[in-house]
Amino acid sequence: MPESLPDIKLNEEGVCNLCLAHEAIKKIEVEKPLESDLIKILNKYKGRNKYDCLVMCSGGKDSTSALYYMKKRYGLNPLAFTFDHGFETEEALENIRNAVEILNVDYLFFKSSFMKDMFAKMIKSGSRAVICHPCSIWYMDLAFDVAARYEIPVIVAGWTKGQSSKQEVMSKCGCNVHAAEFRTMAENTKNFLDNELNDLPQYKNFPRSMEEVLTKAKKRFKSIVISPHWFLPFSTDEYVKLIKDELKWKVPQLSYPAGSTNCALNFLSVHLSIKHYGYTHYHVEASKLIREGIITREEALKQLEINFDKKLLNDIASKLDYQFE
């Protein structure tokens, strides 16, 4: 993580406030969740309705393995759910199709151009809002809506330990927008949602925060959100090999960070986040994993190397009628 005032500061020894805060937390004995805790949660809701859980599937390694675990390891009847805002890659969609066919699970695919005008507005206006934040608000609202429609009590995400502020059951997006490293990003994103969508009436009722999404969801149908990766001890390498062998999962030729599976719009989000803040939420995630001893700093830096150029950015931005200079 770079020094990025006012939220991230280095002291005289070159140690940032995030690491110092982590060291303080480590001194407090925190009980880590176990697989037995996950099983208790799943058994509590299993068999209540047609579907035991809704699995949000992006085609990446983390969500694909989450779907695998729900079906094969825990014997649940999941509904796989994919949301496409128009920027999902064919490689990701192929991974999902292979998984749902091999696992023989019901699959719901939702594609919409609803977010296109918002994304275009963010880029063209020069806003410092982070593209991924409104997108996460949108897709979590969709997920809660689908869960309510089918009365599904558990929503399963593929969030890793580095993507959550606490490794426990939680009902919010993977990024804790109240954490220091996300504070300015969150403020700028909220300012955009509150003040810069007035000329786009289709977003009049768009949630302005994840808290608003959760409040709205509770009025429809109460679902909890969990990720098996918070509870299971398996490394990424272990479950990647598993889904490659059993679900024909393939690593995309080009994605960021290296070895991940993200939508094409993610390249724009990464470019703009680095421009405005000097880092992305992927740097935050990697930093947490380093502090936990899950990966090394060298491994993280390798994964986070920029592997795309301006031509790719402009190819993607052209769908939003925009070109980077």
pLDDT tens across 37-60, in order? 999 999 999 999 999 999 999 999
In CATH, the number for domain 25-252 is 3.40.50.620
Q: Is the pLDDT of residue 97 over 60?
A: yes
Q: How much is the mean pLDDT over the chain?
A: 91
Q: Is the pLDDT of residue 162 over 60?
A: no
Q: Is the pLDDT of residue 165 over 80?
A: no
Long-range contacts at 244-250 (CB < 8 A, ≥ 24 apart):
246/68, 246/102, 247/64, 247/68, 247/95, 247/98, 247/99, 247/102, 247/103, 248/95, 248/98, 248/102, 249/61, 249/64, 249/95, 249/98, 249/99, 250/91, 250/94, 250/95
Long-range contacts at 34-43 (CB < 8 A, ≥ 24 apart):
34/231, 35/231, 35/232, 35/233, 37/231, 38/226, 38/228, 38/230, 38/231, 38/232, 39/74, 41/154, 41/169, 41/224, 41/226, 42/74, 42/76, 42/154
**d(C-alpha 52, C-alpha 77), whole Å:** 5
- The H or E element that residue 55 is part of is strand 53-56
Distance of CA 276 to the CA centre of its chain: 20
Q: Is the pLDDT of residue 68 over 60?
A: yes
Length of the chain (residues): 325
- The pLDDT, as a whole number, for residue 26 is 78
The angle at the Cα of 131, spanning 128 to 134, to the nearest 5 degrees, equals: 110
Distance of CA 237 to the CA centre of its chain: 19
DSSP H helical segments within 236-296, as ranges? 236-247, 265-277, 281-291
The 10s digit of each residue's pLDDT in 242-298 is: 999 999 999 998 899 988 899 999 999 999 999 999 999 999 989 988 988 888 999
**d(C-alpha 294, C-alpha 236), whole Å:** 10
- The pLDDT, as a whole number, for residue 163 is 55
What is the greatest pairwise CA distance in the chain? 58
> For the chain, how big is the Rg over CA atoms in Å?
19
What's the order of all strands across the beta sheet hosting 78-84?
A: 106-111, 78-84, 53-56, 154-156, 224-226
The 10s digit of each residue's pLDDT in 167-208 is: 334 434 445 667 889 999 999 999 999 999 989 999 999 999
Q: Which is more confident, 71 or 182?
A: 71
| Complete DSSP assignment for 138-196 | HHHHHHHHHHHHTT-SEEE----GGG-SSSS---S-SS-TTSHHHHHHHHHHHHHHHHS
Which pTM value belongs to this model? Answer: 0.90
What percentage of the chain exceeds 70 in pLDDT? 94
Lowest-confidence pick of 79-83, 116-120, 263-267, 293-297: 293-297
Q: Which two tokens stand for residue 124?
A: 């063209």
**d(C-alpha 51, C-alpha 221), whole Å:** 14
- The pLDDT, as a whole number, for residue 13 is 94
- The pLDDT, as a whole number, for residue 32 is 79
Q: Is the pLDDT of residue 164 over 70?
A: no
